[in-house]
Amino acid sequence: MKLLVIRNSKAGGADDDLRRAAVAALEAGADVRICEDPEDLGRVLGEHSDRVPVVMGGDGTLHALVAALADRGELESRPVGLVPMGTGNDLARAAGLPLDPSRAARVVLDGHVRPMDLLADDRGGIVINAVHLGVGALGSREAVPLKSLLRRAAYVVGAVIAGVRAPGWRLRVVADGGTLADGRRRVLLVGIGNGRSIGGGTPLTPDALLDDGLADVVVSFATGPLARLAFALRLRRGEHPDHADVRTCRAREITIAGEPVPVNADGEVGPEVTRRTWTVRHAAWRLLVPAPGRSDDSVTSRP
């Protein structure tokens, strides 16, 4: 087996000892080339076209790799390995990958290739785990300067800051032709989940699956001070979908439009948007996950 290991030394997450142990585990069973902080990921993939790309990092680095493979037209032909070493590792959690880097490295060596969905937007972008708009994205923006010091706790602190400041946004949200928000009532958060969680385990869309051809959508109208606090507590426990000020659905195409709103896609905060559409591409890329029947395998199709 020939591997191309892609590492992002600038990302927060695991320490050097864990990295070395994971690399050693990979080298014990494969021919490994390591690419550190590639500036042109597409070029690197082209130069090592005979190797399986493996991300040693978090959702942001994995997102960049999948996007590069999409640009090269190689999503279906090149499976992807993941050794989770980011701050949140939410895609790894949803896929049932071990969060211990050495164990995850062994999954790469003898894992099972599993087709995964992704979300494609109308501006050429993709999402592999989740995109959310509103207070969550604002919280992610506040967390960025804190990640090197607080790691996963930075998301909690950022969310608290954003929860105090966020006024809500007037947004229209349409999913497969059905209206979840009509733009007259302020929205605190819109979440579109291919995976289940964001921010290192917060269950934004707790019933979402990575391979069922649908995105789970959640819209919160909890914009009052006490309502925002109550929503935050329910969100941390995954109890928000059934509350009166939350609307949910599953859909293949989701459009938001309205006031400029911050957006976070796969943990990366982007510029504010006033309109955007996401469409599910079923079984668009392939990830190495634990083989069926193993205890780490939690990626299953919805009945």
Read off the pLDDT of residues 180-189 as tens digits, 9 standing for 90 and up: 999 999 999 9
Instruction: Name the band, by pLDDT with cuts 50, 70 and 90, for residue 26.
Output: very high
pLDDT (tens digit per residue) in 73-92: 999 999 999 999 988 899 99
pLDDT attached to residue 85: 92
The number of helices, as runs of H, and strands, as runs of E, in the chain is: 9, 14
Instruction: Name the band, by pLDDT with cuts 50, 70 and 90, for residue 225.
Output: confident
Cα distance between residue 213 and residue 117, in whole Å: 6
Backbone Cα Rg of the chain? 19
List the single range of 58-67, 120-129, 132-141 with lowest mean pLDDT: 132-141
Q: Which helix (H) or strand (E) holds 53?
A: strand 52-57
Which pairs from 65-72 meet CB under 8 Å and 24+ separation?
A: 65/6, 65/41, 66/118, 66/126, 66/128, 66/285, 67/125, 67/126, 68/41, 68/42, 69/45, 69/285, 70/126, 70/285, 71/42, 72/42, 72/45, 72/46
Task: Tell me if 253 sits within 8 A of 119, measured CB to CB.
Answer: no
pLDDT at 161 over 70: no
Closest CA to 267 of 140, 134, 169: 140
pLDDT at 157 over 90: no
Q: What is the DSSP letter of 213?
A: S
pLDDT attached to residue 64: 95
